[in-house]
Structure 1
Amino acid sequence: MHFCRSQDATELLHEDLVLVEQRVEPAKKAAQVLHKKLLGCMQSQTGLDAEKRMKKLPLMLLSVSMAESLKDFDAESSIRRVLEMCCFMEKMLASMLADFEMKVEKDVLEPLNKLSEDDLPEILKNKKQFAKLTTDWNNDQYSADLYHFATKEDDYANYFIRLLELQAEYHKHSHEFLDKNISELKENHSQKGESLFALVYGEPLLSHLSRSNREIAAPIEECIHMLLKTGMTEEGLFRLAAAASVVKRLKSCLDQEAVDHSDFSMDPHAVAGALKSYLRELPEPLMTFELYNDWFKAAGEKELTEKLEQFRVLLRKLPPENYNNLRYLVQFLSLLSEQQAVNKMTPSNIAIVLGPNLLWPRAEGEAALFDMAAASSVQVVMVIEPLIQYSSSLFPEGIQTLMCEHLVFKV
């Protein structure tokens, strides 16, 4: 027996439930489709514990392959050392992924499945009954279902928010782990490689300039640019030591010829330290072994005019690459000394701290140590100080370029 209906079933619903009713079917469809798609995104098999999941992940299989591959290398191989670290990192990433997917299964997949397969189908089933019958009981039951759906709709929406939260947490932890370990790996790898494949520090000047197609060596030019910007009034520049770790990092960047000035410009003592280190680590001093004694002889001239003329003769004897880089450096040092009232670096003080890095003898053993000690005292100051004092006369060409750079940085 069927009850006669005098009006459409929806008209029997409370008016605020009509809109709710229209959301049930789309909610069921969304839950079904997105559950299926999300399940397809999972890389591990659902229903397994974390350890079993991890073993079947592609990342874990990659880690195992890395472990097998590194066995073929000797213990000193850089490839082996990197693969060992990569093997560990891929295993940790697999563990993080397995943990993430377990949480997604528990907090998102299972609730979506229950929603699409149990909760909403039950409401839709009652809707069909409601469409056929109009008894008070049936009306009350269906209305109660819709009210329940309405009160739970925000909870259902939160399933998708929870998915995003889990993704954010997973990617954040993965990124932090990768960032930390990649930095350590690169630092250890570059330290090992420095002694085998020095790119700039310790490389002959001409070799570096030819390879990089430069006229001025990268450490000299880059460091001077940074010092022109922030170091000209720094007290004790080249005399006061900087943090060794910062100098080391800057040297590494210069070796790779990839320096971000903003990372180091605010630490001029580190920049000055990296520049001094470059000059000191050149296989041959910028002022050359060959002219070592001639520089001291010229500096011994009593008449200033004759001394400067002898300096000009020696400067013309320098290889072009040495001359260009010495000129660039000395012109900068001259500008630096102009700020001596503030930075306390007179031409004499600059000569004392930088001289031993510009001029040393070709010698070995104890004799070399003795000669270098002597060169770092009065003799070298007698050479370097007048170079700085009279740089505009000794190096007339090119001074405008450096002056323009200085003025730009001052502005």
Structure 2
Amino acid sequence: MMKRQLHRMRQLPHTHPVEQRLEPAKRAAHNVHKRLQACLQGQSGADMDKRVKKLPLMALSTTMAESFKELDPDSSMGKALEMSCAIQNQLARILAEFEMTLERDVLQPLSRLSEDELPAILKHKKSLQKLVSDWNTLKSRLSQAAKNSGSGQGLAGNPGNYSHTTTANKMETLKEEEEELKRKVEQCKDEYLADLYHFATKEDTYANYFIHLMEIQADYHRKSLSSLDTALAELKENHSQTDPSPSMTAAPSSRVYGVSLGTHLQELGRDIALPIEACVMMLLSEGMKEEGLFRLAAGASVLKRLKQTMASDPRSLQEFCSDPHAVAGALKSYLRELPEPLMTFDLYDDWMRAASLKEPGARQEALQEVCGRLPRDNLNNLRYLMKFLARLAEEQEVNKMTPSNIAIVLGPNLLWPPEKEGDQAQLDAASVSSIQVVGVVEALIQSADTLFPGDINFNVSGLFSAPAAQDKLSDKPASEELPIAMPTPAATPAPAPAPGPAPTSASVAAKESLSAISQGGQWHFRKCNYVFSSQVPGFPVGSGWRGALEAVFLSLPVFARSLYGSLLSTSCVPGTVSGPGDLGK
């Protein structure tokens, strides 16, 4: 059986090169048509209006239109939603037009090619194959009949008998059938070859279907992009007319807290960080004579709301002016949440070396040299801040915030060591270095006019003014909710301090300014739930230098508090520290 089929294949005409491309072309046209049809979002064969109604983009436009009715049409969101509704409607119509063109110029021709034109050619091929097979069979029968006729004539010796006549008639009939089949084969072959040549001449046309597909897609995307660009330009123009100055408000994509100083200044086009300038201007207006500024904590909820307002709508900051402790807390949070401290990691060791100098003149000269090596943005903001803190210290008789006290609460937020994995000795060194940081910041405040000469206009951007005082933001006491590492003053009056060593003049001054810090018998920390007993042997509760050390402890990172607590309880001896001013030595 297999030999017979192989024989028939060999008897077929020589395969034309174009013929080999028929079947792959038919499969390609069929598969592409099927997948392309599945990409259509509208109803196939429908007119424009019916097709548009079925598109998801039109459903989105309808939803936006319904939602827009519930909004204030003059609000920013209302205007944006209204324009978005219109553009989605326009995009839906562009899509419907694209799909109708795609059906007419690509899908329908591909369907005709895969369902009509190529199947007709392949049908002629099968007909030719059958005719050739029948013709070959008939030729075999005719050849066999001729052999039988010659053999019978030789044996009978009588060519005129009946058998010879019958064989001759049969051969004549076979010859006629063979001639007829041969004619049909030639006719079918001509038709098939004509189809092949027609296919070969139209292959470029078929290839243009796919080129036209990409042209239609490109035109669709160009129209969509043009509509979007026009709508976006109009939307941004209308939106910018209602927006405040970009220097006053952070851009939606911009962050304020937790972003590097350089990035923040570049995004908002400022010289002084927005939280620094805003908080300083509010404190200059309302908080310069507030007792315990930067030391007493504000309510956590108020502080959180202030920070969110700072990042989203600085125009609304005036309402917080009546709560200077919240403003001071927002400034401290900004400084502490910087990825790199304002005084930089790179200069950390240089600041420490300057703090270790004993001679005041040499120390000031070293500090001035380190300041000169700060990056421009850091130097501008540090100068601005130190000028303000020096102004704050001028009111120390009222606010009880001396340069030393300010340095104790703000120093760890301005400079801290890079985090490194190390042994116990390295962690101890990092804890002790916080005391040196306090000394550095205190010296910067005391020598602000020398280290940063010249007057300064605190309203650098010109966007702030002295707002009128407002009512308190919350009826809750400022100490009801405290951020991490801030002491909670006791609700009841503190007992009289135990008698201790005779205080020096420095410790008396420290006691007057820091006594409020060291009230009560325990220190409470939110979040870490750590309790630090105030009954350190040999250190009477309420002493100035005791309060200074404990305030430094409170400002340390969480990981170092336990180390520093052990340091206080084991290595401090009464009389070795005379006051907060000695902590940096």
- For residues 36 and 94 of structure 1, what CA distance do their matches in structure 2 show? 23
Superposed CA RMSD in Å reads 5.0
Displacement of 1:21 in angstroms is: 1.0
Displacement of 1:74 in angstroms is: 2.5
Aligned residue for 1:212? 257
The answer on whether the counterparts of 1:70 and 1:80 sit within 8 Å (CA) in structure 2 is yes
The structure-2 alpha-carbon separation of the partners of 1:315 and 1:71, relative to structure 1 and needing over 3 Å to count, comes to closer
**Aligned pair count?**
265
Displacement of 1:91 in angstroms is: 0.4
The answer on whether the counterparts of 1:289 and 1:360 sit within 8 Å (CA) in structure 2 is no
- For residues 245 and 51 of structure 2, what CA distance do their matches in structure 1 show? 43
- The answer to whether 1:29 aligns with 2:27 is yes
- The answer to whether 1:75 aligns with 2:76 is no
Aligned residue for 1:12? 13
Mapping of residues 97-112 of structure 1, within 5 Å: 97-112=95-110
The structure-2 alpha-carbon separation of the partners of 1:197 and 1:119, relative to structure 1 and needing over 3 Å to count, comes to same
Give 1:63's aligned amino acid.
S
- For residues 123 and 65 of structure 1, what CA distance do their matches in structure 2 show? 52
Mapping of residues 11-410 of structure 1, within 5 Å: 11-13=12-14, 18-134=16-132, 135-186=185-236, 188-189=238-239, 192=242, 194=244, 199-200=249-250, 212-213=257-258, 220=265, 222=266, 253-254=267-268, 275=271, 282=278, 288=284, 316-318=389-391, 357=460
Residues 298-347 of structure 1: CA distance to partner in whole angstroms, max 9, x if unpaired? xxxxxxxxxxxxx99966524689xx8xx9xxxxxx9xxxxxxxxxxxx9
Give 2:37's aligned amino acid.
L
The structure-2 alpha-carbon separation of the partners of 1:196 and 1:83, relative to structure 1 and needing over 3 Å to count, comes to farther
The structure-2 alpha-carbon separation of the partners of 1:196 and 1:147, relative to structure 1 and needing over 3 Å to count, comes to closer
The answer on whether the counterparts of 2:261 and 2:273 sit within 8 Å (CA) in structure 1 is no
Higher RCO (CA < 8 A, seq sep 6+) = 1
Residues 344-380 of structure 1: CA distance to partner in whole angstroms, max 9, x if unpaired? xxx99xx99x89847999779xxxxxxxxxxxxxxxx
Q: Report the TM-score when normalising by structure 2.
A: 0.37
The structure-2 alpha-carbon separation of the partners of 1:11 and 1:318, relative to structure 1 and needing over 3 Å to count, comes to farther
- For residues 67 and 184 of structure 1, what CA distance do their matches in structure 2 show? 19
Residues 173-204 of structure 1: CA distance to partner in whole angstroms, max 9, x if unpaired? 32333244235435544653548996449xxx
Structure with greater helix percent: 1
Aligned residue for 1:296? none
Give 1:169's aligned amino acid.
D
- For residues 259 and 20 of structure 2, what CA distance do their matches in structure 1 show? 72
Displacement of 1:76 in angstroms is: 3.2
Give 2:81's aligned amino acid.
L
Give 2:22's aligned amino acid.
V
Residues 96-151 of structure 1: CA distance to partner in whole angstroms, max 9, x if unpaired? 10111111111101101111121111101111111122422111110010111111
Aligned residue for 1:300? none
- For residues 63 and 153 of structure 1, what CA distance do their matches in structure 2 show? 43
Residues 6-26 of structure 1: CA distance to partner in whole angstroms, max 9, x if unpaired? 97478524xxx6221122122
What 5-or-longer segments of structure 1 have no aligned partner? 1-5, 202-207, 223-252, 255-270, 293-310, 328-333, 335-346, 365-411
- For residues 138 and 313 of structure 1, what CA distance do their matches in structure 2 show? 102
- For residues 53 and 108 of structure 1, what CA distance do their matches in structure 2 show? 18
Q: Which moved more, 1:31-40 or 1:95-104?
A: 31-40
The answer on whether the counterparts of 1:28 and 1:115 sit within 8 Å (CA) in structure 2 is yes
The structure-2 alpha-carbon separation of the partners of 1:200 and 1:169, relative to structure 1 and needing over 3 Å to count, comes to closer
The answer on whether the counterparts of 1:288 and 1:359 sit within 8 Å (CA) in structure 2 is no
The structure-2 alpha-carbon separation of the partners of 1:314 and 1:43, relative to structure 1 and needing over 3 Å to count, comes to closer
The structure-2 alpha-carbon separation of the partners of 1:291 and 1:313, relative to structure 1 and needing over 3 Å to count, comes to farther
Aligned residue for 2:165? none
The answer on whether the counterparts of 2:65 and 2:85 sit within 8 Å (CA) in structure 1 is yes
Give 2:53's aligned amino acid.
K
Displacement of 1:87 in angstroms is: 0.7
Q: Please tell me whether Structure 1 or Structure 2 has the larger radius of gyration of its CA atoms.
A: 2
Give 1:125's aligned amino acid.
K
The answer on whether the counterparts of 1:287 and 1:318 sit within 8 Å (CA) in structure 2 is no
The structure-2 alpha-carbon separation of the partners of 1:153 and 1:358, relative to structure 1 and needing over 3 Å to count, comes to closer
- For residues 361 and 181 of structure 1, what CA distance do their matches in structure 2 show? 34
Aligned residue for 2:475? none
Q: Which moved more, 1:182-191 or 1:108-117?
A: 182-191
The answer on whether the counterparts of 2:48 and 2:96 sit within 8 Å (CA) in structure 1 is yes
The structure-2 alpha-carbon separation of the partners of 1:218 and 1:312, relative to structure 1 and needing over 3 Å to count, comes to closer
Aligned residue for 1:385? none
